[in-house]
Amino acid sequence: MNIKDNLPKYVVLAFFVGAIGLWFAQSNNPRAVAGIPVAVKLPQLSAQAEAGKKAFASNCAQCHGANGAGTDKGPPLIHDIYNPGHHADEAFFMAAKFGVRQHHWRFGDMPPLPQASQDDIAKIVRYIRELQVANGITYRQHRM
């Protein structure tokens, strides 16, 4: 048999292989689990992180969930994508000041938080970083 005779079979096979590949890529993508809160292990917090927890509850939890676990309005911050090697502390300061265009998740743009002071944000970052460490999220060099 030649390829022309089997072309319809190859096209159907290619379609299914492509569909399976797309499904696999999406199932391993953080965007695919958007809206599903993650389980967060709560550590003993430093005094600054305890203050950050309160500031987080006032400024961030509505979208990012209790303890940064995520909601249907915002992603979990206790996720490896926010490890310090990919999102340095400054990224959190910039996000609060200027907002963030949608890029990792499908929640839409994050608005700026003008009501949060620099001191509030510093405490929030400390809180998030302590939660991340307690949940096994540490610095990993980002590679593009």
Q: How far apart are CA 124 and CA 92, in angstroms?
A: 9
- Exposed/middle/buried for 7, CB within 10 Å: 0-12, 13-18, 19+? exposed
Structure confidence at residue 36 (pLDDT): 74
- Note whether 96 and 87 are within 8 A (CB): no
Question: How is residue 122 annotated by DSSP?
Answer: H
pLDDT score of 71? 94
- In 24-69, where do the E strands start and end? none
Kindly state the percentage of the chain with pLDDT values over 90.
Answer: 69
Nearest-angstrom CA–CA distance, 3 and 7: 6
pTM value surpassing 0.85: no
Query: How far, in whole angstroms, is CA 74 from its chain's centroid?
Result: 8
User: Quick one: CA torsion of 56, 58, 91, 106, rounded to 10 degrees?
Assistant: 100
Q: Which of 71, 100, 89 is nearest to 127 (CA)?
A: 89
Q: What is the mean pLDDT of residues 61-81?
A: 95
Q: Spell out the residues 6+ positions from residue 104 whose beta carbon is closer than 8 angstroms to its own.
A: 30, 31, 75, 81
Residue 25 above 50 pLDDT?
A: no
